């Protein structure tokens, strides 16, 4: 390639031609000797979207050499034996890769041998003039995928730590993160992102996420009918569903019922999130100070939970900063119409059907609970679940997304 860009008279005068012939012969010999590795490298370039850009690197290398043709024409190539050390290092690396079945080590060793051949045959002065092209040739090696598992693990650890800092309970197992509202995996890569609300999509776009974002709502699957009839009790209950953790809204509900009749109690349907038992003790002390009772049920099996969802007087979703709410969906699935703090997601949920939820402004929670206690019928849904939120429609939306992504 270099012979094509150097003047013919200069080639003869400086003795470039025999060195270029020797370099061509040496490069051909190395590529033939390690044909399977060279073929594997090109196959990765061609078949892996991650490394398709490598197909351009040989052309970029040619352009980099052409850019230096004037300076190279002033140099006289001369064999330089230390370049053979790089050839030997590449050969040794190839053998280690072969012994350990590490393809990247073999591929890197092949490139080292080619680089060493250039240095050994053309000499140190020419190698200095080609320093950047020689370095850039390292990008011919399709490496990096071996780092993905470690990067996934580190990313999962960082995400889990940040969730804990923000008060969201998170349990980490390898690259899988469990939170009160979902189960997540740190994937190798993604062709798109699925969120449960246009509110979430807008937040991603504001954050500069360029990956395509599809909105598919959380499905609402009707729960089985309760096994017991609703019981008449002396106490009336305002209930919050889910783990107890900071920001869930228990404190706000306890404060809101403080001015209501003394028979109104607060019920937490669920248990304390891991590490947050002290919060339960604190909430109980707060409730006691206002002559209220806080009942924390602990874990409930499906049948018991279905009965509890039916028995409580006023269901409340008091968390203010949710972008999707499994608690609201569960209340709705149980035939209830919960009080939901007004926010972007709650407003979007209410737009599907006004019968799904009752929105309230956070500063007016007390009056919202009072109205619901006075008219319990407002806490129970009358119509069917909207078609767009039914499991069949949500499943079809996911299938269509996967079909489109797989094309």
> For residues 283 and 78, what is the distance between their CA atoms, to the nearest angstrom?
83
For residue 233, the model assigns a pLDDT of 59
Asked if residue 57 and residue 71 are part of one domain, the reply reads yes
354, 382 contact by CB (below 8 A): no
Q: Nearest Cα to 356, choosing from 167, 220, 204?
A: 220
Taking CA atoms, 39 is separated from 42, 43, 45, 139, 180, in Å, by 5, 6, 10, 16, 49
How many structural domains is the chain composed of? 3
Per-residue pLDDT of 346-373, as tens digits, reads: 999 999 998 999 999 999 999 999 999 9
Asked if residue 175 and residue 105 are part of one domain, the reply reads no
For residue 231, the model assigns a pLDDT of 59
Point out the residues of the chain with pLDDT beneath 70.
1-14, 146, 165-167, 181, 210, 227-234, 322-324, 407
Asked if residue 249 and residue 154 are part of one domain, the reply reads no
Asked if residue 131 and residue 38 are part of one domain, the reply reads yes
Would you give the DSSP letter of residue 224?
A: P
In a domain? residue 15: yes
359, 342 contact by CB (below 8 A): yes
Any idea how long the chain is? 407
CATH number of domain containing 356: 3.40.50.2000
What sign results for the dihedral spanned by CA atoms 205, 210, 215, 219?
A: negative
> For residues 279 and 244, what is the distance between their CA atoms, to the nearest angstrom?
8
Asked if residue 121 and residue 69 are part of one domain, the reply reads yes
Contacts of residue 46, defined as CB under 8 A and 6 or more positions apart, other chains included, come to 52, 55
> For residues 333 and 330, what is the distance between their CA atoms, to the nearest angstrom?
5
- What pairing do the DSSP bridges indicate for beta strands 176-179 and 358-360? unpaired
Task: Give me 159's structure tokens.
Answer: 């995400």
Residue ending a domain, choose from 118, 143, 168 = 143
Asked if residue 366 and residue 266 are part of one domain, the reply reads yes
Residue ending a domain, choose from 129, 163, 189 = 189
365, 252 contact by CB (below 8 A): yes
For residue 157, the model assigns a pLDDT of 87
Q: Nearest Cα to 116, choosing from 104, 125, 105, 124?
A: 124
What sign results for the dihedral spanned by CA atoms 351, 356, 360, 361?
A: negative
In a domain? residue 215: no
The pTM of the full predicted model, rounded to 2 decimals, is: 0.60
177, 184 contact by CB (below 8 A): yes
For residue 58, the model assigns a pLDDT of 92
For residue 214, the SS3 value is strand
Asked if residue 125 and residue 64 are part of one domain, the reply reads yes
In a domain? residue 243: yes
Taking CA atoms, 359 is separated from 238, 272, 292, 365, 396, in Å, by 16, 26, 25, 10, 29
> For residues 334 and 224, what is the distance between their CA atoms, to the nearest angstrom?
8
Q: Residue 106 belongs to what H/E stretch?
A: helix 103-122
Asked if residue 338 and residue 255 are part of one domain, the reply reads yes
In a domain? residue 206: no
In a domain? residue 402: no
Asked if residue 129 and residue 161 are part of one domain, the reply reads no
Asked if residue 38 and residue 157 are part of one domain, the reply reads no
Task: Give me 78's structure tokens.
Answer: 């001369």
In a domain? residue 407: no
For residue 121, the model assigns a pLDDT of 92
> For residues 298 and 300, what is the distance between their CA atoms, to the nearest angstrom?
6
Asked if residue 93 and residue 16 are part of one domain, the reply reads yes
What range does the domain containing 113 cover? 2-143
Task: Give me 267's structure tokens.
Answer: 């019920």
Residue in the block written with tokens 């909105």: 215
For residue 188, the model assigns a pLDDT of 73
Asked if residue 353 and residue 315 are part of one domain, the reply reads yes
In a domain? residue 82: yes
> 230-259 as b/e, with b when 16 or more CB fall inside 10 Å?
eeeeeebbbbbbbbbbeebbbbbbbbbbee
> For residues 286 and 275, what is the distance between their CA atoms, to the nearest angstrom?
19
């Amino acid at each position: 390639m270099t012979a094509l860009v150097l003047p013919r008279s200069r080639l003869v005068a400086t003795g470039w031609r025999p060195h270029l012939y020797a370099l061509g012969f040496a490069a051909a010999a190395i590529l033939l000797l390690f044909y399977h590795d060279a073929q594997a490298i090109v196959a990765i370039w061609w078949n892996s979207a991650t490394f398709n850009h490598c197909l351009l690197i040989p052309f970029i290398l040619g352009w980099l050499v052409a850019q230096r043709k004037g300076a190279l024409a002033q140099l006289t190539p001369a064999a330089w034996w230390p370049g053979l050390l790089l050839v030997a290092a590449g050969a040794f690396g190839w053998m280690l890769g072969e012994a350990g079945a590490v393809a990247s080590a073999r591929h890197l060793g092949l490139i080292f041998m080619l680089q060493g051949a250039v240095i050994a045959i053309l000499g140190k002065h020419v190698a200095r003039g080609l320093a950047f092209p020689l370095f850039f040739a390292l990008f011919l090696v399709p490496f990096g995928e071996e780092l993905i598992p470690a990067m996934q693990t580190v990313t999962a650890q960082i995400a889990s730590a940040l969730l804990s800092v923000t008060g969201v309970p998170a349990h980490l197992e390898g690259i899988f993160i469990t939170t009160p509202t979902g189960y997540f995996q740190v994937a190798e890569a993604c062709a798109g992102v699925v969120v449960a609300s246009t509110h979430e999509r807008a937040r991603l776009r504001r954050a500069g996420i360029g990956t395509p974002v599809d909105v598919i709502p959380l499905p609402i699957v009707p729960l089985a009918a309760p096994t017991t009839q609703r019981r008449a009790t002396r106490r009336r209950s305002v209930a919050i569903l889910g783990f107890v953790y900071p920001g869930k809204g228990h404190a706000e509900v306890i404060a809101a019922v403080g001015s209501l009749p003394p028979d109104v109690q607060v019920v937490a349907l669920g248990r304390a999130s891991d590490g947050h038992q002290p919060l339960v003790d604190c909430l109980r002390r707060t409730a006691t100070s206002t002559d209220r009772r806080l009942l924390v049920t602990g874990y409930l099996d499906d049948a018991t939970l279905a009965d509890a969802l039916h028995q409580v007087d006023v269901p409340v979703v008091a968390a203010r900063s949710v972008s999707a709410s499994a608690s609201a969906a569960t209340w709705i699935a149980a035939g209830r119409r919960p009080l939901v703090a007004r926010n972007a997601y709650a407003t979007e949920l209410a737009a599907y059907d006004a019968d799904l939820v009752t929105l309230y402004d956070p500063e007016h929670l007390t009056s919202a609970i009072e109205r619901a206690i006075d008219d319990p019928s407002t806490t129970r849904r009358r119509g069917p679940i909207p078609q767009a939120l039914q499991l069949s429609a949500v499943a079809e939306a996911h299938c269509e997304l996967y079909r489109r992504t797989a094309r």
